[in-house]
Structure 1
């Protein structure tokens, strides 16, 4: 301060109290600015207990005197570092407030602000929070790149989708997205109103109405099932089926089902006059064991 009058001292204390609040006890020396009636009126109005040290006995306020001595030593040592006196003072205060006190065992910043001040030395220490955030970001990128389910679930407002119906006779009904409430939560306009759903499927342009008995499994493997029909053989070709050629035909309808059916061979010349022999199964059949109650 350029001057140490009572008025100037009170102005500085008001600025400090506006940031950190009013103290309960204030310990000072016997300077004229602290013994004036103006200063006494100031501390009484704010409910502060003012204690003054004994005359010519500075050790009464030993904590303040010890800090003044430490500050002077640090400023003398900082002359070789260069820079303005204010820059030297700022560097010292940052180091002092972040250092652990010998009496309390904690740094002044931790006692005052409940956290450790970050300094350049922290760049060499492992940051658990940053490592955790980076790991989550990497996992999200990997999931977006390799997960087919997440790619299937990304929709925009106005997209035509299939919505899971939990009460109707159809498991999936068509709808249009009207709003997005979260990463995977949507509002969908259907025929009966607006539904909030988490499970959605893209609706293909050439997809038929879901009034057929097509089963869909859990979401993620719930993809519309397309059936492949086996072309029927003409009656004229069925008469040329022989007992010497057989084949294995698969009919895909939902799940794969294998059936042993005869195949038509175009290279076989059939003797129509020779009657075909019927082949019977030689498996021995047993009567079922029933529980007679």
Structure 2
């Protein structure tokens, strides 16, 4: 009886047309890329908050790029891709769905000219689009948490910077480290590592002065080109306040405008 029921249901057109989806197939794991910028996953996202975004993800490093675009046309994909190719290099593969922009002759010609292979995903099947789909959702989730009155470019820049410096769960390393083999400096890195830089002599030795050191300083008023003075204080990375010997005035001079003055047995040389 069960077999007969199955046969009847299989022959019933309305039943077949309205049945639930079949069990999901096992998730397709993309072949692991061995180098940065080899395989790119691309997708459009939106309209969201009245904006359309073009998403590009490097499968190796998880480096993310998000562009504000006017439409989902081929040109809206070609323009940011051309900019990225000029910055990073030509990739080997591009993964996208079968959207009109990605299958157009215009984009196909552009990719062929750049020797880039196109891998297509199944339509209406977000999971097969992989990383671009997930990053598009991550981008939208972030924008939802920020006030819409803020400038969209500012919000995207902050989001992308945080993504680039944060270790990814699948790699354990930041996208910047895998992409460029460097750690991007953050605001806190610059605070902790800040030191006053020192200038160099022409012969390569560090040039700096201590308070009270006798020096020659460049004179820009009447009289000699160089006049005697002494260091009063350092007031910047490469500038000093100096006290003139003749009238005890304190003036400011750049490091390049100060020379060592040797004093021996009370005679200046």
* TM-score in terms of structure 2 length: 0.46
Larger radius of gyration: 1
* TM-score in terms of structure 1 length: 0.43
